Amino acid sequence: MAMASEALMGGFSDAPRQSARAFRAALEAMAQPGSLRELSDLAQAPAPVSPAAATLLLVLCDPETPVHLAGDHDRAEVRDWITFHCGAPLTGAGEAAFALGTWQALGALTAYPQGTAEYPDRSATLIVDGAWQGVEVSLSGPGLKQARAALLPERSCFEANRAQFPLGLDFYFTRGASLWALPRSTRIEEAL
């Protein structure tokens, strides 16, 4: 079957400069957990992938990074788009370097690679796309001068993720054209 033309659209017109700007925002987001960044240079993938999530895929994924698509995001148009633009192999949660889906669809965090004691970097980065019901929490740790209030879809699983530091998952939360990050190093406490 021929690829839908939608799969061929939505990439960068000037990849080196646009991905540089998008990555810098992603880098600053990871360095300052909980701080929201608006992306200026956006990629456009088929629904339901948000422009921010599509941009992260384009900037970070390539044939070396297995990508897991969860739930509604796992559809033919999205698969074709990733295959054409990133060339990333699509896999199950257990082998994923990156996973994309709604919070509901991504499921249990323990299903993803958590890294090893000697190579904790060999763990998955989850891109939590779209809206979710949040609980208020307080973030502290590296990148945060003082505690910062944030909304997370849940508290206990992120606390458990932090508890196994230096192992664990890192997160990007994407919605529309904006994103923020939560690395495994961030301590999560009940909102003050």
Q: What residue type is 89 in one-letter code?
A: P
Cβ atoms within 10 Å of 155's Cβ, excluding its own:
15
| 174 binding other proteins? (CB under 8 A) | no
| 19 binding other proteins? (CB under 8 A) | yes
Q: Which is nearer to other proteins, 61 or 137 (CB)?
A: 61
| 144 binding other proteins? (CB under 8 A) | yes
Contacts with other proteins in 71-90 (CB under 8 A)? none
Rounded to a whole number of angstroms, the distance between the first and last alpha carbons of the chain is 55
| 5 binding other proteins? (CB under 8 A) | no
Q: Which is nearer to other proteins, 107 or 120 (CB)?
A: 120
Question: Residue 150 — φ and ψ, nearest 5°?
Answer: -150, 165
Chosen residue from 48, 154, 165, 176 binding other proteins by CB under 8 A: 165
Q: Which residues contact 56 (CB under 8 A, 6 or more apart)?
A: 22, 26, 127, 172, 174, 179
Chosen residue from 118, 133, 156, 192 binding other proteins by CB under 8 A: 118
